[in-house]
Copies of this chain bind each other. A is one copy, B any other.
Amino acid sequence: MNMIEPFTTMLDLAAGGLVPERKLVERTLGDMQGMYAAAVPAERLAEVVYRVSEIPAPLDEGNLLSSTTTIEPGTVDGEYHMTKGHFHAKIDRAEIYVTLAGEGRLVMATEAGEPAVEPMVRGSVNYVPGGWAHRSVNVGSGPLVFFAAFPADAGYDYKTIEDEGFPVLVVERDGAPQVVSNPRYGG
């Protein structure tokens, strides 16, 4: 066992900020090219879609990673801003999401293509069981902010989603979010 010392991080329970701020991932629309149904217009490639700030831990079994994610509001041709989404490389690893601000949808899918969509709102605790790919989608008018925790040995499989997408999309219809089938899924 890799023994480390206990430590404390401060989490802003309204805006999600971490002090000290640790590793920061920033994804732009350029990084998300191919994830939306529509192509991203060239003039929007530098637009930041989401940021992840993580509390570090050893990546071996038994440890936990936790992070704050902030997704900016907006759409690409009516499809709401979202994270890339992934399976865990160790596919049986679960994840817990605690939403701190905003309004979202947690889109999930099994390898067999079963979809699930759960609401994200301040105080919602979403349980993503092992075996479910997960993507969070901001359907509100402000930032969607959530804190997540998962086993540190889970790892990431982004490629399956990059190649196949999710079976459902979350799109704006008459100003409200709607879950629709992904016409490209399983194609």
Residues of A near any B CB (own CB < 8 A):
1-13, 18, 55, 57, 61-64, 66, 90-96, 98, 100, 106, 108, 110, 116, 118-119, 122-132, 147, 149-152
Contacts and interface: CB of A to CB of B under 8 A. Distances in A.
Contacts of A147: 98
A96 B61 CA distance: 15
A123 B57 CA distance: 19
**Most chain B CB neighbours (cut-off 10 Å) among A3, A55, A64, A90:** A64
A131 B3 contact: yes
A63 B129 contact: yes
Given A3-B130, A6-B116, A64-B150, A11 B125 contact: yes
Contacts of A2: 130
A90 B118 contact: no
A119 B8 contact: yes
Contacts of A5: 116, 129
Nearest to A134: B6
Contacts of A124: 8-11
Nearest to A66: B96
A52 to B, nearest CB: 15
